[in-house]
Amino acid sequence: MEQLSSTEVLNLWRGALVESVRRDAPDLTARQLALLLTVYLTPAPHTVRGLAETLNVSKPAVTRALDKLGTLEMIRRKRDEDDHRSILVQRTVKGSVYLSEFSDLIRDALPD
């Protein structure tokens, strides 16, 4: 595949996002989507503290985004059995399905 220009990359992302908001799927914020992608695409374990450091945002901001993702059942939180002060952020089937379908939208937006 040849290198896409900045405009082509942004149009690709726009096309996927437009199609995403047209579907009957949750409308995630950029922060929520970044957190979801980080949990699914980087090695576990994930904690609120670790996600905040990775994304360079505050722990309260991560907690708010995780609250929404938890309500949508895209992630689950579980107390760390080894460190009871820490909460682990885990993947769910619903989150996996959402990201699989979102990746299809991006793929479908690719130019022929």
* pLDDT tens digits for range 62-109: 999 999 999 999 999 998 888 878 889 999 999 999 999 999 988 888
Q: What is the pLDDT of residues 40-51, one digit of tens each?
A: 999 999 999 999
Residue 6 included in any domain: no
Residue 7 included in any domain: no
Residue 91: which region, alpha, beta or left (left: phi > 0; alpha: psi -120 to 50)? beta
Q: Which residue range(s) make up the domain with 81?
A: 28-104
Residue 53 or residue 83, greater confidence: 53
- CATH number of the domain that residue 87 is part of: 1.10.10.10
Residue 17 included in any domain: no
Residue 25: CB partners within 8 Å, gap ≥ 6? 98, 101
Residue 96 included in any domain: yes
CA atoms 50, 53, 57, 59: torsion sign = positive
Residue 62 included in any domain: yes
What pTM did the predictor assign? 0.88
Counted domains in the chain: 1
- CA angle 104-96-12, nearest 5°? 30
What gap in Å lies between CA 75 and CA 66, rounded to an integer?
A: 7
Structure tokens that stand for 111 in this block:
């130019």
